[in-house]
């Protein structure tokens, strides 16, 4: 079942961050992942305005995400992201709780 990565970044060094973004597409593809959105404009329709970068990726499974994240090439690229930004990265597994969602989940 598909799983998703939501990455929220506040970038303080765009030049260094580009060293990260230049390296990530082939590593994501190696694990069957694809970018659903990659830094496009975000519009806030409720709550506090969101002004940071947002990236959403889809992978075939949560295991694919774990393998991608542990990949030595990604670990190397991640050093540029850490140096250039503050990040929050979430993983959400796809599921069947969409047609008649349980409000307790």
Query: What domains appear along the chain, each with residue ranges and CATH number?
Result: 3-44+51-93 (3.30.70.100)
Q: What is the mean pLDDT of residues 23-52?
A: 96
Cβ-contact 92, 3 below 8 angstroms: yes
Which two three-digit tokens encode residue 83? 């140096």
Token pair for 26: 């082939």
Rounded to an integer, the average pLDDT of 82-101 is 86
Query: Which residue has tokens 């994501």?
Result: 28
The reported pLDDT for the residue numbered 62 is: 96
pLDDT above 90 covers what percent of the chain? 87
For residues 6-19, average pLDDT: 97
The pTM of this model reads 0.87
């Amino acid at each position: 079942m598909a799983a998703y990565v939501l990455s929220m970044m506040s970038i303080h060094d765009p030049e260094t961050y580009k060293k990260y973004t230049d390296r990530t597409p082939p590593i994501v593809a190696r694990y069957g992942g694809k970018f659903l959105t990659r830094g496009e404009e975000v519009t806030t329709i409720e709550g506090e305005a969101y002004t940071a970068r947002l990236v959403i990726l889809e992978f075939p499974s949560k295991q694919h995400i774990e393998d991608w994240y542990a990949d030595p090439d990604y670990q190397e690229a991640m050093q540029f992201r850490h140096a250039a930004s503050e990040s929050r990265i979430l993983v959400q597994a796809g599921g069947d709780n969409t047609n008649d969602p349980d409000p307790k989940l």
